Amino acid sequence: MRHKIRVMLMLVIVYFIVAMPFKVMTVIPGFTDVRPVMMLGPVYALFYDLPGCVVFALMNLVMDALSGELAWSSIAGLISNFLGPYLILCYWKRRPGIRLHLRTVGNIIHYSIVITVTAIFEAAIITPSVAAFYPEVDWLMFFTVVVLNTALFPILFGIPLMILMKEELGFESAI
């Protein structure tokens, strides 16, 4: 039990370290910013299973609160930031006999497609709540920023991080 608590605490600390420096890079004030921390969603899911998904979603909500961006749409953000990584985890767990590795171009492309599809899914959850509660927000721009944050950072920075964790540091993925 102590080990699990230490791991979850470590995930929280890493989230803060990655998220805090970028909170000033606002795209739509009060709603979204540049979020390199989104690279951690798939990493937390694939290496730390369900607890990683929960920590990732809750930390997004905490960061919204700490940065003064907590809004009704943050509930949709909490849901989507849990479901996105969780769906990635479920997808890779349902592939019998196939372990996730990013050593080939084909696997990197496959992983990138899965990430992009879940990014669109997450944006489709959050955007309607933003549009409903805050009609002054350009929903198309919001949707686009969410998809870009949720797809590009896990692909551009998450892949190297997972390769480093698995190949160089010896971390075992949950799948």
DSSP state letters, 13-68: HHHHHHHGGGTT-EEETTTEE--GGGGHHHHHHHHHHHHHHHHHHHHHHHHHHHTT
pTM passes above 0.75 = yes
State the Cα–Cα distance between residues 136 and 134, nearest whole angstrom. 5
* 52, 105 contact by CB (below 8 A): no
Report how far apart the first and last C-alpha atoms of the chain are (Å, whole number). 21
pLDDT of residue 71: 85
State the Cα–Cα distance between residues 171 and 1, nearest whole angstrom. 19
Q: How confident is the model over 102-142, as pLDDT tens digits?
A: 888 988 999 999 999 999 999 999 999 999 998 998 999 99
Q: How confident is the model over 71-95, as pLDDT tens digits?
A: 888 999 999 999 999 999 999 988 8
pLDDT of residue 31: 65
Read off the pLDDT of each residue in 22-31 and give the average, rounded to a whole number.
69
Q: Tokens representing 48?
A: 């730390």
Q: Where are the domains of the chain?
A: 2-168
The domain at 2-168 falls in which architecture? Answer: Orthogonal Bundle (1.10)
What share of the chain in percent tops pLDDT 90? 65
